[in-house]
Structure 1
Amino acid sequence: MYRIRAFRAVDDPESCKTFADGHLNVLLEYGVTKVTTANLSWFHNPGVYVILIESEDGSIAYGGERIHLANDHAKLPIEEAVSIVDRNIFELTSKYRALGRTGELCGLWNSKAIAGRGFSNLLTKLGVAMAQRLEMSSLFVLCAPYTVAMCQAAGFEIEESVGSRGTFNYPKLDLIATALLIRDLKDLPTANAAYKEKIYSFSSQPVQLTSDTGPKGEFSFNLNLTTDQDRHEHL
């Protein structure tokens, strides 16, 4: 049994450190040493929300992800990364910021202890559900080639207006990343039906004991996507 919880970064610095340490360890395992997510300034950004997978007693962190709301506190990680090779990213994010609340799903990781069980798929669905709970209208993501199809199943579409039809060399030259975007978070018109059903379940019932199925079978988890955002205005 796992527990999966959400929190606002500025409300829980200790859990932020747990997340960051786990993410860094996974990146180092794969030889990635220079990434924008290594910047810990997000700890202090009131527009950052974190989802963390832990053991039932909270003693072990297994994975997680973050949502960064676009605000005046800091650039989005996708802006920091992509602007090095294409400044048009700023025009793109500004466009969607003008249309409603936007931001980015980023920093997704899971430890080798749960690798291959389907947690990356689950986190993608949870991230979209969390964005719905945050009343966002659109959501960006920058992902590796092997996660593009997974993101597309959750409703993301490749954003071909930046980079080389949406692709970039990031975070080092032998790694390709693709920029994707959900333009309509409410209706998710391009999402896979099974993904959409799960996403709506997570967003409408943020506290539940449930399960998901991956390549190695079914796993259960206690979910709690409620955070201080339920009591405070989003920044």
Structure 2
Amino acid sequence: MLKVRAFRAIEDEDSCSRFAAGHAKVLLDYGVTKVTSSSTDWFYNPAVYVIVAELEETGEIVGGVRVHIADGITRLPMEDAVYVVDQKVYELVNNYIENGTAELCGLWNSKITAGWGIGSYVLMRAGISLIPKLKLESLFALCAPHTLKISIEKGFEVETSIGNKGTFIYPKLDLIATSIIIKDPGLLSLALPAEREIITELRENPTLLQKDFNFQKNLDITYNLNLAPFHEIL
């Protein structure tokens, strides 16, 4: 059984620490030593929400993703990452702040769960489902080439106004990142119908029990994605 739960970072430092340790190990396995979203400052940021995937039997966190809300105080991880190659990223994010925007970042899953679909399916869907509940009207992300198609299927589109038509070298010289955005997280008009249905179901039923047979391992997944809107808990 896989448990997927969401919480506000400042309310669960222990889970934040376990998330960060797992993420750091995955990055090191890929030879990446410096990523802006791997900083631990977010532990104490009231505008950060976290989703973790845990094995029910052991409690081990085997994957996670974060939602960083643009609050006009702390830069989004992508702003810090992209600024060195394109300063227009500040203006881009600022254009969306008034109506509420965030970044989906720090997505990872452990090697022992490779092929389960935890990162690019289970956690990404859960993260997107939170955005309307947090009263946000857009969602940014940076993605690697192997997750671009998967992200597009879930309603993202390439944000071409920064970098080289949306792409730039990050987090190291032999890797390319693409800036992407969902402009209607409540409707997900660009998403594949099947993806839109799953994400909408997660939003409407945040304590869902789901059987997923799409991956190499048949998964029973329990979700707890209940959160209050961001503006109600500041």
TM-score normalized by the length of structure 1: 0.95
Secondary structure of the corresponding residue to residue 140 of structure 1: strand
2:186 matched to which residue of 1?
A: 186
Between the aligned residues of both structures, percent identity stands at 45
1:158 matched to which residue of 2?
A: 158
1:231 and 1:126 map into 2 onto residues whose CA distance is 17
8 Å CA contact retained: 1:70, 1:97: yes
1:37 deviates by 2.0
1:208 deviates by 1.6
Q: What is the CA deviation profile of residues 168-188 of structure 1, one whole-angstrom value per residue up to 9, with x for unaligned ones?
A: 100111110000000111111
8 Å CA contact retained: 2:38, 2:106: no
Q: After TM superposition, what 4+ stretches of structure 1 lie above 3 angstroms from structure 2?
A: none
2:183 and 2:38 map into 1 onto residues whose CA distance is 28
2:102 and 2:62 map into 1 onto residues whose CA distance is 24
1:198 and 1:175 map into 2 onto residues whose CA distance is 31
The amino acid of 2:109's aligned partner reads N
1:217 deviates by 4.4
1:138 matched to which residue of 2?
A: 138
Secondary structure of the corresponding residue to residue 179 of structure 2: strand
Change (3 A) 1:43 1:117: same
TM-score normalized by the length of structure 2: 0.95
8 Å CA contact retained: 1:47, 1:234: no
| Greater CA drift, 196-205 or 123-132 | 123-132
The answer to whether the aligner puts 1:105 opposite 2:104 as a matched pair is yes
Q: What is the CA deviation profile of residues 77-112 of structure 1, one whole-angstrom value per residue up to 9, with x for unaligned ones?
A: 0101001100001111111112x1101000000001
1:123 matched to which residue of 2?
A: 123
1:58 and 1:3 map into 2 onto residues whose CA distance is 11
Change (3 A) 1:101 1:7: same
Secondary structure of the corresponding residue to residue 123 of structure 2: helix
1:231 deviates by 9.1
Secondary structure of the corresponding residue to residue 63 of structure 2: strand
CA RMSD of aligned residues (A): 1.4
The 5 Å alignment of 1:21-170 reads 21-57=21-57, 59-98=59-98, 100-119=99-118, 120-170=120-170
Secondary structure of the corresponding residue to residue 207 of structure 1: coil
**Number of residue pairs aligned between Structure 1 and Structure 2:** 233
8 Å CA contact retained: 1:118, 1:213: no
8 Å CA contact retained: 1:158, 1:181: yes
8 Å CA contact retained: 1:70, 1:76: yes
Secondary structure of the corresponding residue to residue 67 of structure 1: strand
1:223 matched to which residue of 2?
A: 223
Q: What is the CA deviation profile of residues 85-143 of structure 1, one whole-angstrom value per residue up to 9, with x for unaligned ones?
A: 00001111111112x11010000000011111211212111110011221210000001
Change (3 A) 1:231 1:38: closer
The answer to whether the aligner puts 1:201 opposite 2:201 as a matched pair is yes
Secondary structure of the corresponding residue to residue 80 of structure 2: helix
1:51 and 1:5 map into 2 onto residues whose CA distance is 6
Structure 2: gaps of 5 or more residues: none
1:216 and 1:3 map into 2 onto residues whose CA distance is 18
1:196 deviates by 0.3
The amino acid of 2:185's aligned partner reads L
8 Å CA contact retained: 1:67, 1:103: yes
Q: What is the CA deviation profile of residues 178-232 of structure 1, one whole-angstrom value per residue up to 9, with x for unaligned ones?
A: 00000111111100111000000001100121122333143111110013x3697
